[in-house]
A and B are shown apart, each in its own frame.
Chain A
Amino acid sequence: MEADIRWLDNPEVFRVGALDAHSDHRFYMREEEAQDGKNSLVQSLNGIWKFHYSENVPSRPADFYKEGFDSAGFDEIKVPCHIEMAGYDKIHYINTMYPWEGHFYRRPAHSLDGTKEWEGMFSQASYNPVGSYLKEFDLDKELLGKRISICFEGVEQAMYLWLNGHFIGYGEDSFTPITFDLTPYMREKGNVLAVEVHKRSTAAFLEDQDFFRFFGIFRNVSLYALPQMHVEDMWAKPALLEDGTGSFGLELRISMPNETIGRAEVTLTDREGRCLLKRNMPLPGNEKAVTGEGTEIICKLEGEKIGKVTPWDNHNAYLYPLFIRLYDESDRLIEVVPYPIGFRRVEIINKVIYLNGKRLILNGVNRHEWSAEQGRCIGRKEMEQDMQIFLRNNINAVRTCHYPDQIPWYEMCDKNGIYMMAEVNLETHGSWQKMGAIEPSWNVPGSLPQWKEVILDRARNNFETFKNHTSILFWSLGNESYAEENLAAMYRYFKEKKDGRLVHYEGVFNNRSYEDAISDVESCMYATPDEVRDYLTNEPKKPYLLCEYMHDMGNSLGGMDSYMKLLDEFEMYHGGFIWDFIDQAIAVTDEVTGQKVLRYGGDFDDRPSDYEFSGNGIVFADRTEKPAMQEVRYFYGLYQ
């Protein structure tokens, strides 16, 4: 298949040539590596890449991916990083308005009858910047001779990929890892990877989050060598039963060469190493699919009894080490997959949410990934700092507003007992709310069939990638995307997984006709305490939470006790998520004084803008705590 630039304009093309979304498990070929986390099967491609910036598609170097292309005129850029932060395109902050407001007239494809104007909307636009990235590399020794995949953890907002002149694939969902198989075209030395990144595509209609609008490769890029026998996907299903015992299930999708045999060993221990479960499954088992490339096997454990377990919660985030080991026919260890899992039970009884039999209280915040120096391109250090701030201030819940975060954050939440609302990368705010009014005349995804698969794909990416994380108590369909058939289909997608989690979506508030078809909980944002009271005293249908409340813009966070008291008043009220964790502002050198200062929307000649509206954190953009934090710490410590 060849790349087609018109995919940028077509909402029905969002994923080409990519491997199926799969669990975020790490895999190693040696026990020691699984212990210390150093993985010789991984080769990072982070670092300096060759780069060319173009203002639009027609002016880009279209042949740059071809072998023998002369890249002498290319610049260099760091990967990962936002292209704007590297000084190429304008930094722009805007809230609900689409970023082309006042510059281009655009309506989503198929949203208004009979329009053909969407053809070329992005691929032929006079302004739709392109980043052309080239990376030359040799394979590390340990990766030689193995199947090689590449994982882009975050590329905003549409990407085409080539290896050694061959087209590999295309992807859009900016905030979710996407993996491609490179094996057919991989060489030992002198590989040239070409990535063409587009600032906007139809994905722009779906990624209208209230944040700085960036593009580029902004998260890790890694090569993975897959052992001969490999866990392609795993879905662990620990459950806490009412009698305090655990049950355990596991689904594995394993690839191995045709005509070979082996076994999968599954062990579950407690933290002291006492074995709770050990099972051996011969490979291949009964469920298998043989293809030209190899055999794919599905093997399952179901309803294994574990006995008494320590439940996982915020006060005691007890995780049990789970190991999956694959052995070949001569019983040689081929692959080991460690994955700590917790036993917990989320349920709604009489319209009240319980975790492990106790009423759930969410002392939460919404958290954008942010760094004043690097934008949304953050590292482990920032995540660790954020987690320390959470723990220090009694924050027990996080909503990943409004896109999936980097993988280590989910692991940290598992480990520290932070209740997660894991949100899909979706927000279409500007398509249905204009100047504050609900005006959904051309909203997406709405009920448009052409916009259904793309958002289901986003839901699937979120589910499949993060399904093993104990911390996730809620899946969230995204933020502020109105509510019609396609959101209802997303809701059904998650419900059909029957994974014991709740499914959350706030947007039915704006279209009550979908109240019974979307969301397990009544969720509002910025409802006043009296409005919460009104709902809960007038035949409420569902348990209630505030997915956004206490808008901490500037010097704010007054009146928190009025919300906290609701926890005493109503069993069905479960608390909420403060808006939000960190000010989004960018560190620059002041052109007048030379000192390092923070700038916000409108400070980059970016218009229209929503200016300082991105500064709503309980920490400043440099992660120092705002004075209001002591109030958060006090109340969140009081209600546990």
Chain B
Amino acid sequence: MDCINKGMEGERLHLVFGDVTLGVHGSFKGKEFAYIFSYVTGGPESLVINGMEWLYRTPRPTFWRALTDNDRGSRFQFKSGMWLSADLFVNYAGVMVAVDGAEITLPRAPENNQYTGHERAGSLAITYTYEAITQPAAQVMVSYLVNQTGEIEVKVHYHGNRELPELPVFGMRFIMPTCADRFVYEGLSGETYPDRMAGGVPGIYEVEGLPVTPYLVPQDCGMHMDTKWVKIYRSSTLDNRTRKAEPSAIRFSAKEGNFAFSCLPYTAAELENATHIEELPPRRRTVMCVYGAVRGVGGINSWGIDVEPEYHIDAGKDIIYSFCIS
């Protein structure tokens, strides 16, 4: 239970070396957090902040955006379609753990028998390796570095491979158990893309609900480029005891450079599958994607001309970015 190992304010992280997972517990300035990183699912399985669970399933790298009409027009899917399957089925290939900056032998059973229930640390880093089912396989490494404040720094590294076709996007997808009420972000007004952000006005903006922009055929939407931070608010949970909860927020913030994100009730695959907005399934989750690279939308025509070259994503080059969760 997430409430057992409550740390004292400002104390070092309390680590729980489970047989299958690694628990990290602590509190900071009145905020209590409890994270569980899994060796099986290949990533964090639980991020509880002040009693609210923020994960529905373990986050994964994302390699696809629902095709735009211009993508279809320029036959992007025929060139880069393998990234769709890569997005659907991400192969988790390995994990490494470091405590206070030093790598340790993976502490799963029975290696974890050496520990007690009282392990403390100043920081924990856990790094997962993924292989995309592209041919050849693309490799992604994602590390989660937890410090004593409970902040998680996420470092994402896509290893470029020149044999792979252009990417539509690259990022990390976090699926939350229920629909968010709203999100607030500091970045550009409206929806922006790399080739359509001149008109975006910097500021702090609040977006109610999780609007899906009602294009005639559902397609990628809701992108926000050049974002400093975004806070997502939820007041519902799947916890059978409560269901309704006090509104609570999770914050994604930029670390080195600003990021792009979209926060929608659907995955790219769900959007991709619908020919009309009413075919989308009932809204259940929050799908928060934090992107390190976004392809432009284009606009010259919708029957052949590609997005302008500077707004493509070259899969041959590494994509490295980071952000923080708190």
A residues near B190, Cβ cutoff 8 Å: 627, 630
Q: How far is the CB of B36 from chain A (nearest CB, A)?
A: 37
Flag the segment in B49-57, B213-221, B240-248, B283-291 that touches A: B213-221
B307 within 8 A of A: yes
Flag the segment in B10-18, B193-201, B227-235 that touches A: B193-201
Q: How far is the CB of B224 from chain A (nearest CB, A)?
A: 10
**Digit string of A565-609 for contact with B (CB within 8 Å is 1, else 0)?**
000000000000000000101000010110101111001000000
User: Do B308 and A556 touch (CB < 8 A)?
Assistant: no
Question: Of the candidates B200, B214, B302, which one forms a contact with A616 in the assembled complex, judged by CB atoms under 8 Å apart?
Answer: B302
B278 within 8 A of A: yes
Name which residue of chain A comes closest to B221, CB basis. Answer: A555
User: Do A598 and B307 touch (CB < 8 A)?
Assistant: no
- Compute how far the CA of A597 lies from the CA of B219 in the bound complex, rounded to whole angstroms: 16
- Compute how far the CA of A616 lies from the CA of B197 in the bound complex, rounded to whole angstroms: 19
Flag the segment in A252-260, A417-425, A545-553 that touches B: A545-553
A168 within 8 A of B: no
**From residue 277 to 301 of chain B, which have CB atoms closer than 8 A to chain A?**
277-278, 296-301
B322 within 8 A of A: no
Name which residue of chain B comes closest to A603, CB basis. Answer: B276
A446 within 8 A of B: no
User: Do B216 and A612 touch (CB < 8 A)?
Assistant: yes
User: Do B299 and A627 touch (CB < 8 A)?
Assistant: no
Name which residue of chain B comes closest to A638, CB basis. Answer: B198
Number of interface residues of B (CB under 8 A): 39
User: Do A559 and B300 touch (CB < 8 A)?
Assistant: yes
User: Do A553 and B302 touch (CB < 8 A)?
Assistant: yes
Q: How far is the CB of B167 from chain A (nearest CB, A)?
A: 16
Q: Is the interface of A mostly helix, strand, loop or mixed?
A: loop
- Compute how far the CA of A633 lies from the CA of B70 in the bound complex, rounded to whole angstroms: 22
User: Do A612 and B300 touch (CB < 8 A)?
Assistant: no
**Digit string of A436-453 for contact with B (CB within 8 Å is 1, else 0)?**
100000000000000000
User: Do B199 and A555 touch (CB < 8 A)?
Assistant: no
B112 within 8 A of A: no
B28 within 8 A of A: no
**From residue 592 to 640 of chain A, which have CB atoms closer than 8 A to chain B?**
592-593, 595, 597-600, 603, 612-613, 615-616, 620-621, 626-628, 630-635
B residues near A603, Cβ cutoff 8 Å: 276
Q: Given A615-B216, A631-B198, A635-B199, A558 and B278 touching (CB < 8 A)? A: no
- Compute how far the CA of A620 lies from the CA of B212 in the bound complex, rounded to whole angstroms: 13
Q: Given A555-B220, A556-B68, A627-B191, A634 and B198 touching (CB < 8 A)? A: yes
A557 within 8 A of B: yes
- Compute how far the CA of A595 lies from the CA of B215 in the bound complex, rounded to whole angstroms: 17
Question: Of the candidates B189, B194, B276, B301, which one forms a contact with A597 in the assembled complex, judged by CB atoms under 8 Å apart?
Answer: B276
Highest count of chain B CB atoms <10 Å: which of A526, A551, A583:
A551
User: Do A627 and B69 touch (CB < 8 A)?
Assistant: no
User: Do B297 and A556 touch (CB < 8 A)?
Assistant: yes
User: Do A562 and B308 touch (CB < 8 A)?
Assistant: yes
User: Do B277 and A558 touch (CB < 8 A)?
Assistant: no
- Compute how far the CA of A612 lies from the CA of B298 in the bound complex, rounded to whole angstroms: 18
User: Do B216 and A598 touch (CB < 8 A)?
Assistant: yes
User: Do A631 and B199 touch (CB < 8 A)?
Assistant: yes
A residues near B300, Cβ cutoff 8 Å: 526, 528, 549-551, 559
Name which residue of chain B comes closest to A637, CB basis. Answer: B199
User: Do A551 and B302 touch (CB < 8 A)?
Assistant: yes
User: Do A632 and B307 touch (CB < 8 A)?
Assistant: no
A residues near B296, Cβ cutoff 8 Å: 558-559
A residues near B215, Cβ cutoff 8 Å: 554-555, 615
20 CB < 8 A contacts A-B: A553-B70, A554-B70, A554-B215, A554-B302, A555-B193, A555-B221, A557-B196, A558-B297, A558-B307, A558-B308, A560-B196, A562-B308, A590-B278, A595-B278, A612-B69, A615-B69, A615-B215, A615-B216, A621-B216, A628-B196
B residues near A (Cβ < 8 Å) are: 68-70, 73, 189-191, 193-201, 213-217, 219-221, 276-278, 296-303, 305, 307-308, 311
